[in-house]
């Protein structure tokens, strides 16, 4: 039986699309977002998947949103949760419910440049090589076990946008390869 995967995305969904087009795409059962205008939700619907959005603006506290989002994901009965461009930190209750089964991508070579601005921070630091990381989500910010990394050179004249676009291409490939190996090894 194919593992059930829920993908979380806040943006365009190019990581989601890479997964949909891969051998594990058939295991994706739902896509969740924190933004109703996330193009990733449209990609999910066009692929015939369940899509849901839990808007943080509709809750009195962050804790209330955390609970509602967790319940929405849990209702999909996932074996794996993939954070693919999801720009919110998952709370400890969520993380502990799926120990070692929440996977995230990050546009830097962790542990360097964690957080929401990895590409910008790498450029500001003046590195000559950056890249992307696929890691297990834990209760920290980009501190979980590193599963795979791939380097991307910083080219003369790179801007945050140009470098990030090159990283995204590698990030999509690395996420698909890593999840295919990881999920294939556990199913």
Question: At how many degrees (to 10) do helices 160-186 and 118-125 cross?
Answer: 130
Is 106 part of the annotated catalytic residue set? Answer: yes
Task: Write the DSSP string, 159-187.
Answer: -HHHHHHHHHHHHHHHHHHHHHHHHHHH-
Q: What is the CA radius of gyration of the chain?
A: 16
Tokens in use for 34?
Answer: 């924190």
CA distance linking residue 133 with residue 105, whole number of Å: 6
Catalytic residues: 106
């Amino acid at each position: 039986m194919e593992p059930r995967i829920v993908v979380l995305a806040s943006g365009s969904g190019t990581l989601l699309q890479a997964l949909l087009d891969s051998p594990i795409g058939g295991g994706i059962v739902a896509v969740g977002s924190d933004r109703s205008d996330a193009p990733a939700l449209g990609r999910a619907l066009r692929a015939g998947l369940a899509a849901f959005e839990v808007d943080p603006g509709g809750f009195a506290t962050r804790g209330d949103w955390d609970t509602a989002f967790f319940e929405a994901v849990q209702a999909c009965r996932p074996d794996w949760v993939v954070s693919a461009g999801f720009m919110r930190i998952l709370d400890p209750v969520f993380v502990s419910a799926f120990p070692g089964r929440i996977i995230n991508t990050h546009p830097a070579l962790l542990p360097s440049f964690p957080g929401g601005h990895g590409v910008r921070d790498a450029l500001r630091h003046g590195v000559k090589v950056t890249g992307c990381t696929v890691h297990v989500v834990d209760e920290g910010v980009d501190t979980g076990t590193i599963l795979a990394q791939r380097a991307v050179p910083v080219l003369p004249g790179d801007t945050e946008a140009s470098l990030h676009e090159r990283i995204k291409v590698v990030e999509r490939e690395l996420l698909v390869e890593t999840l295919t190996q990881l999920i294939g090894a556990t199913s």
